[in-house]
């Protein structure tokens, strides 16, 4: 038995346990076993008693708990005391309300037989926390226009859940729906063709033909041909054969039969495309005939090419059908492609395989003698190919400024090439610039194209006007582009909300609009006067079930407001370009009324990239933080998208200094405006936002009361040898010339510079309590860099909390992980800012 002594020190009560056997650890007293380790600190003296120091309040609480008649004490989660657990419970209920809000992902419209009314189909998703997956739904609506320019959406009574569905794409007419179910093991891939009242066809494509169909936003390419009999798509190439061994050694047979007397070796390792593509085989191009169910690989494509974003070329009667796709060559190695648009790529055209089609009326011969033709020889990047309605032009987005500079994102450009009406494929077509890269936009003028993916059918009825979404400063906007003249107009209202086009309904636009304080709502836009050359658009509100949220959320959001602030640049030198000297922006979210006499605590939110942007759209996670009593400041430091190429390119080579200074200037700006208290500031960011977070708490150690970092870049010198994008480490450290220094074997000089640019170089000055949220499967910023920094803080006694999500990648977005992350951010910030 142990005996215990209770004594009082100057600041705490001390419980001393005396042990007769010194080599064993201290035993917990029954009442002490319920004290969280963060509140109970053992200390030992030379005579080996063990002392636990408690505050008077904690001791009183424990004694009261111990004398309770309710039985044994309830065990609490690791790291939680009674007060924190209560905060956890309260915040989790509110976060659940925000999490349950559905998202509008895509939409399609189809003209009815009358040609006046139309049908719309919306793809909607919602997190399922219990299953840790996202539920996907189809919600349908009948659209009719009234004589007074009003619009009527008649919604189906209930959405249809697409359980187990990887991707679905309707045919152009809306008469058929392709539904793909990818296997979770070595089972066949399942294709279903839905009609209006039943599943008309079902095909099972074995693994010997191809693996899972790509359903991501990058390689995915599913395209119906004109007569809706053939579908081109991108799937994993078949698994390579692996060596087979028996008890007698190597077996020189290729059998897929499961034989318990055999076992498979691993075979040669093959390079993958990095983050989120681990375990995925090379994306290859296939065509399936929906009448016969025959799926064939498209021949004539080099094995070194990864393919995606396929579309059918306009049919030519009596000629073989062609496909146009984007191809990425792997080079020496495949560098990470997720979030990295700077990988060289080109458009290729290839003959479709021998599938009979009603369009040409003939069965085609083998295409082995028709190798793919590279259409964009003179440009380093070509993405999202789209044909004009008359088939005369092929439009595409280029990220050549990203490829040429090494920046993972930059300002896009739009181009066109003439398409031969006879269908002859040519590599000598002239590339015409439609929208060039904008270097330094004038105030209030078009800043260039950014993150501009294009709808499958983006055309108005004149055949030359294209509707696309882009980024304009801190807002998402909808643009109209005349592909002949290059004229660009802003279609969405010039407000501070963000707008994103979902689909076109003839010459009208169905879009979604939101803000940091408004959930997404569907909008319907039409030209005010089609007969004149006016480009004025009018927008109607559409009532939809997808915009529903709880009354509590509505009430909380109605009490919030936001604005977009212009922040002047500090310390402008003569060497800075004109675009880099212009003010940058920050989004400020606050309560409409002060909750008490003092200012609400401020959370500074920093986007990653660094070439990304925080836009004025609705974020469930950020709205949750606003609703529990925090003001938000989302800083779009120089280097963010949406402000011109000069401002963007001013950051590479200056990370850790220019971006850090911009954030500090933005904070001082809101303090000077009387919007924030200098003693109640938190900072949070992920990836490069985590890089900035950990830099800031080191370079300005007295500025921040608390911090949180999600998969942060803390040490470039450590990251460069383990990341899937080592080239990025060189570019952010050296600038665009880092492309020339990049090597798989960094020199001591390279590593020294990277270390000096990293947060780890300032870790000795940090005193801010910091929460780390790490994805164990992250290939972009491996967890070693976050662990190293967190352990360095622990070593010097800084309060640290670490949560590791074992199955998450760089973006911690699995529903349960996302939920737990922001719940812990909310509780951690409340604890240190109260």
* CB-CB neighbours of 360 under 10 Å: 17
Residues whose CB falls within 8 Å of the CB of residue 831, separated by 6 or more in sequence, listed in order: 84, 87, 706
Give CA 770 to chain center in angstroms.
Answer: 24
Q: Is 667 exposed, middle or buried (0-12, 13-18, 19+ CB in 10 A)?
A: buried
Active-site residue (options: 695, 762, 810, 832): 810
CB 738 within 8 Å of CB 653: yes
Q: Which H or E element spans position 741?
A: helix 738-741
Pairing of strands 305-312, 177-181: unpaired
Tell me if 54 sits within 8 A of 12, measured CB to CB. Answer: yes
Contact (CB, 8 A) for 437 and 452 = no
What is the distance between the alpha carbons of residues 365 and 358, in angstroms, rounded to a whole number? 16
Taking the C-alpha atoms of residue 812 and residue 774, their distance in angstroms, rounded to an integer, is: 8
Rounded Cα gap, residues 684 and 633, in angstroms: 10
CA distance 575 to 580: 10
Residue 778 annotated to the active site = yes
Catalytic residue among 412, 778, 808, 818: 778
Q: Could you give the residue ranges of the DSSP H alpha helices within 138-258? A: none
For 808, the token pair is 């998450």
Q: Which residue has the tokens 């290059």?
A: 486
Strand partners, 111: 118
Alpha-carbon span 108 to 173, nearest angstrom = 10
Q: Taken in order 661, 665, 667, 671, is the CA torsion positive or negative? A: positive
DSSP state of 32: G
Residues 6+ apart with CB under 8 A from 596: none
Pull the structure tokens for residue 256: 């897929």
Dihedral sign for Cα atoms in the order 17, 21, 23, 27: negative
The DSSP output letter for 341 is: T
Answer yes or no: 687 catalytic. yes
Compute the distance between CA of residue 513 and CA of residue 494 in angstroms, rounded to an integer. Answer: 12
526: Cβ contacts below 8 Å, ≥ 6 apart: 149, 507, 508, 509, 537, 538, 540
CA separation for the pair 259, 756 (Å, rounded): 57
Active site residue 521: no
687, 758, 817, 821: the catalytic one is 687
The alpha carbon torsion through 271, 274, 278, 283 (nearest 10 deg) reads: -70
* Spatial separation of the C-alpha atoms in residues 542 and 142, rounded to whole Å: 12
Cα separation values, 774 from 122, 754, 807, Å: 34, 22, 10
How far is residue 597's CA from residue 231's CA, in Å, rounded to a whole number? 64
C-alpha to C-alpha distance for 638 and 646, rounded to whole angstroms: 9
Cis peptide before 610 (omega within 30 of 0): yes
**Residue 497 · residue 513 · CB < 8 Å:** yes
Rounded to 5°, the CA angle 510-516-518 comes to: 55
Q: Within 10 Å of residue 623's Cβ, how many Cβ atoms?
A: 23
Helices (H) and strands (E) in the chain, counts: 15, 43
Contacts 24+ apart (CB under 8 A), 400-404: 400/437, 401/437, 401/645, 402/341, 402/342, 403/342, 403/343, 403/344, 404/380
Tell me how far apart the alpha carbons of residues 635 and 326 are, in angstroms, rounded to a whole number.
34
- Residues noted as catalytic: 687, 778, 810
């Amino acid at each position: 038995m142990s005996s215990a002594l209770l004594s009082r020190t100057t600041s705490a009560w001390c419980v001393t346990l005396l042990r007769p056997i010194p080599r064993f650890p201290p035993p917990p007293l029954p009442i002490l076993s319920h004290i969280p380790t963060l509140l109970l600190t053992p200390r030992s003296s030379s005579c080996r008693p063990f002392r636990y120091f408690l505050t008077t309040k904690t001791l009183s609480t424990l004694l009261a708990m111990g004398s309770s008649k309710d039985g044994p004490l309830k065990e609490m989660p690791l790291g939680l005391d009674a007060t924190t657990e209560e905060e956890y419970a309260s915040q989790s209920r509110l976060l659940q309300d925000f999490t349950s809000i559905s998202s509008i992902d895509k939409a399609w419209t189809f003209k009815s037989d009358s040609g006046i009314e139309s049908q719309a189909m919306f793809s909607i998703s919602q997190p399922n926390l219990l299953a840790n997956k996202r539920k996907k739904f189809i919600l349908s609506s009948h659209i009719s226009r009234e004589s007074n320019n009003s619009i009527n959406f008649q919604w189906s009574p209930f959405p249809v859940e697409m359980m187990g569905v990887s991707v679905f794409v309707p045919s152009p007419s809306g008469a058929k729906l392709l539904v793909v179910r990818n296997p979770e093991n070595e089972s066949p891939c399942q294709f279903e063709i839905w009609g209006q009242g039943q599943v008309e066809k079902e095909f099972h494509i074995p693994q010997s033909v191809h693996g899972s169909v790509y359903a991501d936003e990058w390689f995915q390419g599913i395209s119906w041909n004109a007569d809706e009999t053939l579908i081109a798509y991108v799937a994993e190439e078949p698994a390579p054969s692996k060596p087979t061994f028996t008890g007698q050694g190597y077996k020189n047979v290729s059998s897929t039969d499961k034989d318990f007397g055999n076992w498979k070796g691993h075979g040669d390792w093959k390079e993958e495309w990095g983050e989120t593509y681990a375990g995925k085989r090379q994306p290859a191009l296939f065509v399936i005939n929906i009448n016969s169910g025959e799926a064939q690989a498209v021949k004539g494509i080099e094995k070194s090419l990864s393919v995606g974003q396929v579309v059918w070329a306009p049919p030519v009667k009596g000629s073989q059908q062609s496909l146009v796709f984007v191809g990425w060559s792997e080079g020496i190695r495949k560098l990470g492609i997720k979030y990295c648009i700077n990988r060289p790529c080109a458009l290729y055209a290839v003959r479709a395989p021998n599938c009979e089609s009603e369009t040409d009326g003939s069965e085609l011969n083998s295409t082995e003698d028709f190798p793919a033709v590279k259409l964009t020889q003179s440009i380093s990047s070509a993405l999202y190919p789209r044909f004009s309605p008359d088939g005369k032009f092929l439009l595409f987005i280029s990220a050549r400024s990203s490829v040429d500079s090494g920046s993972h994102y930059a300002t896009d450009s739009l181009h066109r090439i003439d398409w031969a009406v006879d269908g002859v494929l040519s590599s000598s077509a002239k590339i015409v610039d439609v929208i060039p890269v904008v270097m330094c936009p004038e105030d209030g003028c078009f800043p260039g194209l950014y993150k501009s993916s294009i709808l499958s059918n983006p055309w108005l009825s004149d055949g030359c006007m294209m509707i696309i979404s882009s980024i304009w400063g801190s807002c998402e906007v909808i643009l109209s582009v005349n592909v002949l003249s290059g004229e660009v107009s802003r279609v969405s209202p010039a407000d501070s909300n963000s707008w994103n086009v979902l689909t076109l309904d003839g010459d009208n636009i169905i879009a979604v609009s939101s803000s940091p304080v408004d959930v997404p709502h569907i909008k319907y836009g039409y030209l005010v006067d089609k007969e004149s050359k006016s480009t004025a658009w009018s927008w109607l509100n559409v009532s939809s079930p997808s915009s529903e949220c709880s009354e509590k959320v509505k009430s909380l959001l109605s009490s919030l407001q936001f604005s977009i602030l212009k922040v002047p640049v500090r310390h402008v030198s003569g060497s800075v370009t004109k675009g880099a000297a212009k003010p940058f922006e920050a989004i400020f979210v606050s309560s409409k009324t002060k909750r008490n006499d003092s200012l609400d605590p401020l959370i500074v939110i920093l986007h990653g990239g660094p070439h990304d942007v925080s836009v004025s759209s609705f974020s469930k996670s950020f709205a949750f933080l606003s609703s529990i009593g925090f003001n938000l400041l989302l800083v779009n430091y120089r280097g963010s998208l949406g402000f011109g190429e000069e401002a963007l390119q001013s950051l590479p080579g200056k990370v850790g200094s220019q971006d850090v200074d911009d954030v500090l200037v933005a904070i001082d700006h809101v303090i000077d405006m009387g919007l924030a208290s200098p003693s109640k500031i938190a900072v949070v960011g992920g990836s490069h936002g985590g890089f900035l977070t950990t830099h800031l708490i080191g370079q300005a150690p007295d500025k921040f009361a608390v911090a949180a970092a999600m998969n942060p870049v803390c040490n470039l010198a450590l990251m460069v040898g383990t990341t899937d994008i080592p080239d990025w480490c060189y570019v952010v450290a050296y600038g665009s010339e880092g492309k020339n220094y990049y090597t798989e074997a960094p020199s001591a000089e390279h590593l020294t510079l990277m270390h000096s640019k990293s947060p780890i170089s300032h870790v000795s000055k940090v005193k801010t309590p910091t929460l780390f949220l790490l994805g164990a499967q992250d290939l972009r910023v491996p967890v070693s860099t976050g662990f190293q920094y967190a352990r360095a803080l622990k070593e010097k006694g800084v309060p640290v909390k670490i949560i590791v999500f074992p199955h998450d990648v760089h973006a911690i977005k699995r529903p349960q992980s996302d939920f737990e992350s922001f719940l812990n951010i909310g509780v951690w910030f409340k604890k240190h800012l109260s």
